[in-house]
Structure 1
Amino acid sequence: MPPAVRLPKPTLTEQQPPPADLSEVASRLRERYLPTLPAPRRSPEPVDALIGTILSQQNTSLIARRQFAALKTSYPQWEAALADGPDGIEGVLRGAGGGLARVKADYIYNVLYRLEETRGTLSLQDTHDLNDAEARALLESLPGVGMKTASCVLLFDMARPAMPVDTHIGRIAARLEWVPARWNAVKVEHWFDEVLPRDWPSRYGFHVSAIRHGRETCRAQRPLCGECVLRDLCPSAGVFLAGSPTAYPVALSKENMPAG
């Protein structure tokens, strides 16, 4: 009896083909929430950008900026933070206010320690000379840096065509029935990576405008479907407008969102 032939696993776009209305949705969201793109930003020191991104997780932007400023005041060079250790970093973060000080201090210290141990420098400036895949691989090799954190640094601080997915984007994709509601954020991000144009303006524009849409209109509870620019394209609009806000699943709950 011949051995069984193992068929290749279908790609995500073979499981969920690109939606025909993707470009129309992207265009409407951009027109509504981000008609003018900002100039791409390249951080002079991506380590600063990475630490800032770590601080922003489960924090308000105001607190994250305050904590980062406190760190830079206490540690003009990151070598000083490495020497001070996680206890010292935690003390600085607590002094600046905000929660999860110990967790974030450990993340920051471990990133700095790994950089020193593996690269002999607390700099990531050379990532600007790497291609997109190489830059991502380097970021994701650092402790506590998952796909979403790396994508945020790549998109916002290195002008690379990444596509971070948060609860808002996942919820919108599920309500549009682009992806199954059971998919987690990592799987949805991989899918978007396959279907979106691989250029910075397209991905930055979609990411930012979709998040604003999720916050302002396509909210987790009581979405404002009557005001939605995607109302005629969204299969879920009729469900919510009929007065049954719990009849359609909300994708990417906190339980299946990755920390990194």
Structure 2
Amino acid sequence: MRKKGRKRKPAPADHKCSPAKLTRKNTVINLTTNDPFPNHHNPTAEDCRAVRDDLLAFHGFPQQFAKYRKQRLNLVSKDEINKQESVTSSSHEESVLDGLVSMILSQNTTDANSQKAFALLKSDFPNWEDVLAADSKSIENAIRCGGLAPTKASCIKNMLSCLLEKRGKLCLEYLRDLYIDEIKTELSQFKGIGPKTVACVLMFNLQQDDFPVDTHIFQIAKAIGWVPIEADTKRTYLHLNRRIPNELKFDLNCLLFTHGKACRACIKKEDNHQKKETGSCPLLNYLKNFNLSED
């Protein structure tokens, strides 16, 4: 959620990383892109609210995202922010850089393994300067439990190196003062940082109204007719971010992600007809209605 009236600080002149390290063609998402499915009118605001309410009643709000939800609620009013300043300044709060590295480590692994990898990395290297100074093998050993250790270690080291060269320090807090499209441009420049990772940092660490699309959300969106069957993840991301009301994006995203991991019945439509426990999925009616509309 963007705070009204907050002025953007001009970005200082940057030290440039080499193009080989920093430039990634065709990866920056442009918020001004038109809806890729202008004639596909789902989901409506009413659809989004109904699914949010049904999933919330079924699952409750996922505890793993509760701290991020609380941070967003604390941004509802400027008065509340002022009240919280003395508290948040003295207590540990996940930095934007912490969040980005956590998202890198979460790729292609379980939540438990990625959280363990992040904890071990922070234990072996108390600050990001230590990580940057360490050899790649030491970083790989620290994060090995999260899988793809060489790839993730290289991505983290490259990102830290470019960030230090570009900004002069290992800190991403300046992103809080940029507009959402500028944040996407900044983060997408780092090799190995893809659109989903950028969107997650926006939503969780920067409290922006964005709607990341992972494989669970992508498959559910197709199954209940929120995007055409021929949609890919990039176009699904663009379409849903235009259709879903900002005030519903965070809760709906967390709930769809949680439900997609827990319920295999609603992921593939061919499984819906085979499912016997018809009352166990809160999205069953949406699946049925969409299947009927296709016939």
When normalised by structure 2's length, the TM-score is 0.69
In the TM superposition, 1:40-59 aligns within 5 A as 40=71, 43-59=93-109
Q: Quickly say closer, same or farther: Cα 1:122–1:186, change in 2 above 3 A.
A: same
Match of 2:217 in 1: 169
Alpha-carbon offset, residue 115 of structure 1: 0.3
- Secondary structure of 1:12's counterpart equals coil
The CA distance in 2 between the partners of 1:214 and 1:117, in whole Å, is 40
Q: Which among 11, 27, 31 is matched to residue 53 of structure 2?
A: 27
Match of 1:204 in 2: 250
Which letter maps to 1:59?
T
Alpha-carbon offset, residue 238 of structure 1: 5.8
The CA distance in 2 between the partners of 1:52 and 1:10, in whole Å, is 31
The CA distance in 2 between the partners of 1:19 and 1:84, in whole Å, is 48
Alpha-carbon offset, residue 35 of structure 1: 5.3
Q: Which among 121, 126, 129 is matched to residue 76 of structure 1?
A: 126
Which letter maps to 2:241?
D
Match of 2:186 in 1: 138
The CA RMSD over aligned residues, in Å, is: 2.7
- Secondary structure of 1:39's counterpart equals helix
The CA distance in 2 between the partners of 1:44 and 1:19, in whole Å, is 33
CA contact (8 A) 1:169 1:214 kept: yes
- Secondary structure of 1:57's counterpart equals coil
CA contact (8 A) 1:81 1:89 kept: yes
In the TM superposition, 1:93-242 aligns within 5 A as 93-94=143-144, 97-199=145-247, 202-217=248-263, 218-220=266-268, 222-223=271-272, 224=275, 226-227=278-279, 228-235=281-288
Question: What's the % identity of the aligned pairs?
Answer: 30
Residues 34-78 of structure 1: CA deviation (Å, up to 9, x unaligned): 359641369552111100111111122222122112211222221
Instruction: Give the paired residue count.
Output: 228
The CA distance in 2 between the partners of 1:144 and 1:35, in whole Å, is 31
Q: Quickly say closer, same or farther: Cα 1:176–1:44, change in 2 above 3 A.
A: closer
* Farther-moved stretch of structure 1 (215-224 vs 61-70): 215-224
Gaps of 5+ in 1: 1-8, 240-260
Alpha-carbon offset, residue 105 of structure 1: 0.5
Alpha-carbon offset, residue 237 of structure 1: 7.2
The CA distance in 2 between the partners of 1:208 and 1:191, in whole Å, is 18
CA contact (8 A) 1:44 1:125 kept: no
Q: Quickly say closer, same or farther: Cα 1:35–1:88, change in 2 above 3 A.
A: closer
When normalised by structure 1's length, the TM-score is 0.77
- Secondary structure of 1:14's counterpart equals coil
